Structure 1
Amino acid sequence: MKQVQLGGLTVSAQGLGCMGMSSVYGDADWDESTATIRRAVDLGVTHIDTANAYGQGHNEVLVGRAVAGRRDHVTLATKAGMDFTTARGKVVINNHPDHIKAAADASLLRLGTDHIDLYYLHRVDPEVPLEESIGAMADLVTEGKVRHLGLSEVTGEQLRTAHAVHPIAAVQSEYSLWTRDPETTVADAARELGVGLVAYSPLGRGFLTGTVDASSLAANDGRRRLARFTEEAATANQAVAEAVRKIAEVKGVTAGQIAIAWVVAQGERLGTPVVPIPGTKRVKWLEQNAAALDVELTPDDLAALDALAAQVVGARY
């Protein structure tokens, strides 16, 4: 698979988001998830994305065991800044330097590795100066525990503040045909600073594939709480999914592949690499997603797809 640069970090042009293997999107299977991660590596999808908060540490253990023996062939990205040890039954934002450093040690143990290739601040804590949080992460780089730093869901101003403390390789944000926020919130700063964009949920949390029936989601599927997946909104948003499907049908590919190809194509327009990390817990969907990098979109395709965001019903959260 093609390789791209996120700041000074080389990664595969598509990554694998592993959150759903441990949380949010209903039940998952350890063996099937492990097989999916290993198949990803076989296909060259070597940028593996996890976080300490996914499944309260479960996901890092899963990823670590899945890549055991192949650690040198993958780029591991994980995150800190979410505290699930409060015993209050929920995850809270915690960017205190001591917490970040302790979280890194715990992540290294769960992942079974001596270094993290890309370490993200999962969310910005308004109670802690960003400079202090990034300073703690920079210490981890100095200590050899982390190779590169990233931020998740930040503004351009926050990116500039962090980058002034230590170079930032990547910003991870939700980005897809129906979620375009990074274009106005952080893309300009990323381009100016040479920071790459990592796009999570490039498939619109699965909706853009045309295979998700919002009315039949499992009771423990987090999408049931999202505005775009309510009965009324989901019915209206079928028009968006159908438009993607029609373009896919003409090209003889899947709707999901069109959605991912659109995200990748935005790198040229935004002036910085965009690396999608579609999440899946099944080999079948992984293989389809990986093949999206071979899909070519014409200017007419891109124009038609660009217009879809304006038709989306429902807020992001």
Structure 2
Amino acid sequence: MNKRQLGSSDIYLSELSLGCMSLGRDPKVAKSIIDRALNAGVNYLDTADLYDFGENERIVGEAIKGRREDLIIGTKAGNKFTPREQGWTWDPSKSHIKSAVKDSLQRLGIDYIDLYQLHGGTIDDPIDETIEAFEELKQDGLIREYGISSIRPNVIKEFVKKSNIVSVMMQYNALDRRPEEEILELLNKNSISVLARGPMAKGMLSSQAQQKINQKGQEGFLDYSFEELKAVIDKWMDYESGERTLEALALQYILHQEPVATAVFGASSVKQVEENLSYLEASPLTEQIFGEIQAMTKQLTYKKHR
């Protein structure tokens, strides 16, 4: 699998990576999903301390024993919680981040985190203090690089201006093209990579698109009404062919954008991993098809989330 540089760092991520939030709580199932992805060339696993209140990190840690040297591990912090208990509070303070990293390392069973990310954030946060925490963790060798997971343009712009982030994780897909309006060019100019999550738009861009729209699109999606979604997906379905699956097309669309380092897909079964891996056999995306996708979808902007 091709790899792309993470920002200006010496880390290279596989074009497809596994988001671990949907792995579930069965360690055997989780390991089978992770093993299939890794054996296909995926080298980046993305988790967070909040997923299943610490259990997801623990399950990932068990699954990767003996394979650490081959992997890039990313996790996130900023949500204060009690392990195995519901509920959390937002805490981007230096003290919490420097405490949370130790807990994550222990659960993952590793000595350092390759990519440590702030899991959210608002413009009212003590951003300078947060950056200081990440910089100190990097100096201490507990993390290699740091980034943020955010869809808020104003927050992203502050971190671009003030910090040494190498990445921004954000939702990005052919139905959610908001990053194209004011984020992608900014990050590209500053040599900061995008980790694109949600590439299938809740499954509405997958081979089960019509079924997923009926399940999850009844109230619309972003600025799309249900009727608009159906019209777009009717055209989307026409691209399914022997040259590429719809999953492959969805992944190709976001990976066509220069600052995108990797498409982070979630999977709760090996079958879903296989569907995403069809990307590896797909014919290259042409500029014509890329343009057609842009023409049939909406150029959206961030409104509520700033």
- Normalised to the residue count of structure 1, the TM-score between the two structures is 0.84
The residue that corresponds to 1:257 in the other structure is: 248
The residue that corresponds to 1:211 in the other structure is: 208
What are the within-5 Å matches in structure 2 for residues 185-200 of structure 1? Answer: 185-200=182-197
Q: Judge which range, 52-61 or 205-214, deviates more.
A: 205-214
Measured in 1, the distance between the counterparts of 2:142 and 2:226 equals: 44
Cα deviation code 1:185-205 (max 9, x no counterpart): 322221121011110001112
Contact 2:123 2:154 in 1 (8 A): no
Please report how far the alpha carbon of residue 242 of structure 1 lies from its aligned counterpart in structure 2 after TM superposition. 2.8
* One of 233, 239, 244 as aligned partner of 1:247: 239
Contact 2:29 2:269 in 1 (8 A): yes
The residue that corresponds to 2:23 in the other structure is: 21
Contact 2:168 2:195 in 1 (8 A): yes
What are the within-5 Å matches in structure 2 for residues 69-218 of structure 1? Answer: 69-85=66-82, 89-155=86-152, 158-163=155-160, 165-211=162-208, 213-214=211-212
Aligned residue pairs, count: 298
Measured in 1, the distance between the counterparts of 2:99 and 2:82 equals: 12
Cα deviation code 1:144-184 (max 9, x no counterpart): 11001111115555445334554211110000001112122
Structure 1: state its 5+ residue gaps: 23-27, 218-222
Q: Judge which range, 176-185 or 67-76, deviates more.
A: 176-185
SS in 2 for 1:247: coil
SS in 2 for 1:184: helix
Measured in 1, the distance between the counterparts of 2:285 and 2:123 equals: 41
Q: Does 1:57 align with 2:35?
A: no
Measured in 2, the distance between the counterparts of 1:253 and 1:284 equals: 17
Is the alpha carbon distance of 1:235 and 1:131 closer, same or farther for their aligned partners in structure 2, counting shifts above 3 Å? same
The residue that corresponds to 1:277 in the other structure is: 264
Please report how far the alpha carbon of residue 30 of structure 1 lies from its aligned counterpart in structure 2 after TM superposition. 3.3
SS in 1 for 2:169: strand
Please report how far the alpha carbon of residue 13 of structure 1 lies from its aligned counterpart in structure 2 after TM superposition. 1.5
User: Once superposed, what is the RMSD of the aligned Cα atoms?
Assistant: 2.9
* One of 290, 307, 310 as aligned partner of 2:295: 307
Identity of aligned pairs, percent? 29
The residue that corresponds to 2:4 in the other structure is: 4
Contact 1:15 1:278 in 2 (8 A): yes
- Normalised to the residue count of structure 2, the TM-score between the two structures is 0.87
SS in 2 for 1:99: helix
Contact 1:263 1:274 in 2 (8 A): no
Cα deviation code 1:260-306 (max 9, x no counterpart): 11111122xxxx24410111121122123123144312222112211
Please report how far the alpha carbon of residue 134 of structure 1 lies from its aligned counterpart in structure 2 after TM superposition. 1.2
Measured in 1, the distance between the counterparts of 2:162 and 2:132 equals: 7
Corresponding letter in the other structure for 1:245: M
Contact 1:210 1:242 in 2 (8 A): no
SS in 2 for 1:120: strand
Corresponding letter in the other structure for 1:256: E
Corresponding letter in the other structure for 1:65: E
